A and B are shown apart, each in its own frame.
Chain A
Amino acid sequence: MIRLWIAGVLLAASLPAQLALNPSGTITLPTVYAPDFSETKVNLINAGTQSVTLATLSIGGTAFSIPDAPATPRQLAAGESLPFTVRFTPVDAGSFSAVLQAGSLTAFVLAKSLAAPALFVDGGPVHQPGSVDFGTVETGVPVTRHFSLRNLLRQPLAIGILAATGDFHLMAAPPLPIALAPGDSIDFDIAAKPMQPGAFAGALLIDDRSFTLSGIAADRPPPLPQIVFRDAQVKSAQQSRLSVSLSEPARVAAAGSVEFAFELLTNGLAGDPGVLFPASGTRSIGFTVAPGDTLARFGASNFADFQTGTTSGNLVFRIRFGDFLDTATLVVPPDVAGVDQIRATRAAAGIAVEVIGFDNTRSASRLAFTFFDNDGNTVNGNTVNGSAISVDATDAFHGYFQTSGLGGMFALTASFPVTGGADRIAGVQVDLVNSQGSAHSQRVSFR
């Protein structure tokens, strides 16, 4: 019984006829430039009907190796295939051979190597057939990688061709031909500046070797714009100013716009045509940026003036820059009436006072005129130190604002018949009341 068991074991271990190599016989690896490497796949197949124990798998010679050799002994089931790699890594030029041993099977392995300098990119080796990926870069921005060629062989080398093709160009390369003694190296850069988004490609040619160069160009998101107001708070009848700052210097030329809408705080009022950019005459103004700009350009200026109008409300600014859209709001608060100018004139029949101003609530109601003589005393009616002449103009203002179409602006002319001595009336002051209170003008002299 014991004899039978021993015989079975011997039978299983000694059935080389069941194992086969593919390819078999002589295996020739691709010619390679030393010290690059070449590889070939080999299959060890158990073609029998019983499992087989593989005792060893090895290859001789210093230039050859099996990088993925399985641990042995290894059992191969009937019909099982065991793939492995034979690698050829010459350290010099020449012809090489070795014996591949798979259990009791043997095969001859042949390989040839040519002399060439080794290629390194940013310090790392690049083997043939190799490629160098420049990665994803920004459109319009130069990208450079550092290359070196080293003679790792024991013989001198000569390089007759060194060139970059396609979207790439060579930088700081030594003149050709290049002689490299054993241990010597040369350094150079390869650069690309893709101007359009998408793939860019080329090749590095070193004599009869070619290495693929590639990369992807993508547009960088434009810098983020921000509206910067000169005045944090605004009021009516004001020309204020804004600029557009960029989060970083612009890399490419671009254009955008700033628009603003006017939201009335009081229902029922008509709009205000005074809310606009004077430079465009509208509520929209375009801007441009050039490479390097950190401020947008509005024509020849880095700012845009805008009018706040003469009606209380919200000025809602919207900036558009590429796909970016943002808003910023300034509030024009309700206020007492504003008096811009008073013209007081004498005429044959009396005196006239013209008041140019605005009421951003359009709620003006009462007017009061206070007259002064040459000594600065108040003169009203026919008395000195009298009270102001008051007029209820609520309906008049209401009717005017309903139809004027000019926001809160108005010009009011009040005529005062004077009987004798009009030339002794030297000045006038006007008070104007609206929903926010009373506005007092400065005293104005008659002309």
Chain B
Amino acid sequence: MKSRFLPAFFCVACAAVGQSLSAPRAGFMLDRSHRIRPVFGMAGNFVLGEALAGEVLSLAFSGKSGLAKTETQLLLLDRDAATIQAFDAPPGKSLFAFHADGTPAYCYFEATGDLARIGPDGLEPLEHPVLPDGFRLIGIADDNGTPRILTADSTNAPTNAPSNAPSNVIRKVQQLGEGWMQIDTVLGTYARRTETGAEYRLPVPEPVE
């Protein structure tokens, strides 16, 4: 019997396994009262958690970090949706992009049409991009640091149109968490697994209070 040694040694502490059990979190989404809510679950089974911070107009999560837009501020969030930094920002809603490693990359301010790079020192305005009408998402930044702008009807945007929902009913597409996109349509809200394209209905957040 052939046997060879590798320079690797594994050690598993049984007790540690118990400490690492947790609720599976797919990401975060906004409810109808503009509050951040964790989305627990997996393919075919999603449950919304208790509401967190409120008065949020736009939200996206990469799984490692989050971006939230209130009326006057852009918030950088950690993986648990706690605020790390806050920047003054133009009013209104925003669209967000993350780097491939999940760190914040870009923010597009819908009201002013300004696009800004998100850095450790704050927002760095970029030249006004030419955006197609009706776009819904700034996707994950590519290797050159350029935000991929995905539109609801773009042919090069395979991840932003659910196969069972025509593109003209899509209201918004954004990142829900690591490996998940959230697609809001007039027919309902879907979670789309980025890797496989499989889609599932997301539970409707509770009604506006």
Chain A residues in the interface with B (C-beta under 8 A): 236-239, 273-274, 276, 278-281, 299-301, 305, 307-310, 340-341, 350, 356-358, 367, 369, 371, 373, 379-385, 389, 391-393, 395-397, 399-400, 404, 406-407, 409-422, 424-425
Closest 4 CB pairs of A and B: A396-B18, A278-B201, A411-B24, A340-B42
Q: How many angstroms from the CA of A274 to the CA of B201 in the assembled complex?
A: 12
Flag if B10 contacts A418 (CB, 8 Å). Answer: yes
Flag if B11 contacts A416 (CB, 8 Å). Answer: yes
Q: If A400-B21, A409-B40, A421-B7 touch, does A281 touch B205 (CB 8 Å cutoff)?
A: yes
Flag if A341 contacts B42 (CB, 8 Å). Answer: yes
Flag if A412 contacts B6 (CB, 8 Å). Answer: no
Chain A residues with CB below 8 A from B20, complex form? 412-415
Flag if A281 contacts B206 (CB, 8 Å). Answer: yes
Flag if A238 contacts B44 (CB, 8 Å). Answer: yes
Chain B residues with CB below 8 A from A307, complex form? 44-46, 203
Chain A residues with CB below 8 A from B47, complex form? 273-274, 406-407, 409
What are the interface flags for B177-209 relative to A under an 8 Å C-beta threshold, 1 for contact and 0 otherwise? 001000000111100000000001111111000
Q: How many angstroms from the CA of A29 to the CA of B22 in the assembled complex?
A: 101
Q: How many angstroms from the CA of A425 to the CA of B7 in the assembled complex?
A: 11
A277 to chain B, nearest CB (A): 8
Flag if B8 contacts A425 (CB, 8 Å). Answer: yes
The listed residue with most B CB atoms (<10 A of its CB), out of A397, A406, A421, is A406
Nearest residue, chain B, Cβ from A306: B201
Flag if A392 contacts B14 (CB, 8 Å). Answer: yes
Q: If A239-B201, A357-B42 touch, does A424 touch B8 (CB 8 Å cutoff)?
A: yes
Q: If A379-B6, A382-B9 touch, does A409 touch B205 (CB 8 Å cutoff)?
A: no
Chain A residues with CB below 8 A from B5, complex form? 382-384
Flag if A414 contacts B45 (CB, 8 Å). Answer: no
A-B contact pairs, 30 of them (CB 8 A): A238-B45, A239-B200, A273-B47, A307-B44, A307-B46, A340-B24, A340-B42, A379-B6, A382-B10, A384-B2, A384-B5, A389-B12, A391-B12, A393-B14, A395-B18, A396-B19, A397-B21, A400-B21, A406-B23, A406-B47, A409-B42, A410-B22, A410-B24, A412-B17, A412-B20, A415-B20, A417-B9, A417-B10, A421-B6, A421-B7
Chain A residues with CB below 8 A from B4, complex form? 384
In this complex, the interface size class of chain B, counting residues with CB under 8 Å from chain A, is 35 or more
B117 contacts the other chain (Cβ, under 8 Å)?
no
Chain B residues with CB below 8 A from A369, complex form? 12
Chain A residues with CB below 8 A from B44, complex form? 237-239, 307-308
Known: A281-B204, A379-B6, A383-B3. 12 other contacts (CB 8 A): A237-B45, A278-B46, A299-B187, A340-B42, A382-B5, A384-B3, A391-B14, A393-B18, A406-B40, A410-B21, A419-B8, A424-B7
Chain B residues with CB below 8 A from A381, complex form? 9-10
Flag if B45 contacts A309 (CB, 8 Å). Answer: yes
Selected from A340, A413, A416, the residue in CB contact (under 8 A) with B10 is A416
B48 contacts the other chain (Cβ, under 8 Å)?
yes
Chain A residues with CB below 8 A from B205, complex form? 281
Chain A residues with CB below 8 A from B45, complex form? 236-239, 274, 307-310, 358, 407, 409
Chain B residues with CB below 8 A from A421, complex form? 6-8
Q: How many angstroms from the CA of A268 to the CA of B20 in the assembled complex?
A: 24
Chain A residues with CB below 8 A from B12, complex form? 369, 389, 391, 414, 416
Q: How many angstroms from the CA of A424 to the CA of B10 in the assembled complex?
A: 13
Chain A residues with CB below 8 A from B14, complex form? 391-393
Nearest residue, chain B, Cβ from A275: B45
Flag if B24 contacts A356 (CB, 8 Å). Answer: yes
A108 to chain B, nearest CB (A): 88
Flag if B17 contacts A379 (CB, 8 Å). Answer: no
Q: How many angstroms from the CA of A393 to the CA of B43 in the assembled complex?
A: 24
Q: If A278-B203, A279-B188, A396-B18 touch, does A418 touch B46 (CB 8 Å cutoff)?
A: no
For chain B, residues 108 to 142, give those with C-beta under 8 angstroms from any C-beta of chain A.
none
Nearest residue, chain B, Cβ from A408: B45
Flag if A301 contacts B187 (CB, 8 Å). Answer: yes
Selected from A367, A409, A420, the residue in CB contact (under 8 A) with B17 is A367
B102 contacts the other chain (Cβ, under 8 Å)?
no
B99 contacts the other chain (Cβ, under 8 Å)?
no
Chain B residues with CB below 8 A from A415, complex form? 16, 20
B41 contacts the other chain (Cβ, under 8 Å)?
yes
Nearest residue, chain B, Cβ from A341: B42
Chain B residues with CB below 8 A from A397, complex form? 18, 21
A13 to chain B, nearest CB (A): 99
A231 to chain B, nearest CB (A): 12
Q: How many angstroms from the CA of A177 to the CA of B26 in the assembled complex?
A: 81
Q: How many angstroms from the CA of A381 to the CA of B40 in the assembled complex?
A: 34
A333 to chain B, nearest CB (A): 16
B25 contacts the other chain (Cβ, under 8 Å)?
yes
Nearest residue, chain B, Cβ from A379: B6
Flag if A358 contacts B42 (CB, 8 Å). Answer: yes
Q: How many angstroms from the CA of A16 to the CA of B23 in the assembled complex?
A: 114
